[in-house]
């Protein structure tokens, strides 16, 4: 689907639906990894396939879905197809996601640390009942 067709389809949809579709496309670990791999520049299908450790059919399906969504663009050179991220703001989006996830993990780690500190004190102050 061309960018014009994609834009025409998206134009009739509420923005929240367009955003949900965009994130749904990125919502697969392989696709997130593809974006990460393309951070340093374009790669061929073969290079991506080797890095991802998946077969050509799987790689082609993921790349096609990302191209249809406008996340990737393809350039043919001889028999090779080179992929790149269409809009570099995708990298900013992924970095923002990493920061949000990192922040949540830090908060969870801190909470676990607090719980670990409370546990010995609670065991020491809890009266034992029953017989052994």
Task: Give the pLDDT of residue 5.
Answer: 53
Percent of the chain with pLDDT over 90: 67
Average pLDDT, the chain: 87
Instruction: Output the pTM of the full model.
Output: 0.73
Fold of the domain spanning 3-85 = Arc Repressor Mutant, subunit A (1.10.10)
DSSP the chain: --HHHHHHHHHTS-HHHHHHHHHHHH-SHHHHHHHHHGGGS-EEHHHHHHHHT--HHHHHHHHHHHHHTTSEEEEEETTEEEEEES-THHHHHHHHHHHHHHHHHHHHHHHHHHHHHHHHHHHHHSPP-S--
């Amino acid at each position: 689907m061309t960018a014009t067709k994609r834009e025409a389809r998206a134009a009739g949809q509420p923005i929240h639906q367009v955003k949900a579709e965009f994130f749904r496309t990125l919502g697969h670990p392989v696709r997130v990894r593809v974006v990460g791999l393309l951070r340093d520049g374009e790669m061929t299908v073969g290079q991506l396939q080797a890095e991802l450790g998946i077969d050509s059919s799987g790689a082609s399906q993921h790349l096609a879905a990302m191209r249809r969504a406008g996340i990737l663009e393809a350039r043919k050179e001889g028999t090779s197809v080179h992929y790149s991220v269409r809009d570099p703001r995708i990298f900013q989006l992924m970095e923002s996601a990493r920061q949000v996830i990192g922040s949540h993990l830090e908060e969870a780690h801190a909470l676990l640390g607090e719980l670990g500190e409370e546990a010995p004190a609670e065991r020491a102050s809890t009266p034992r009942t029953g017989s052994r």
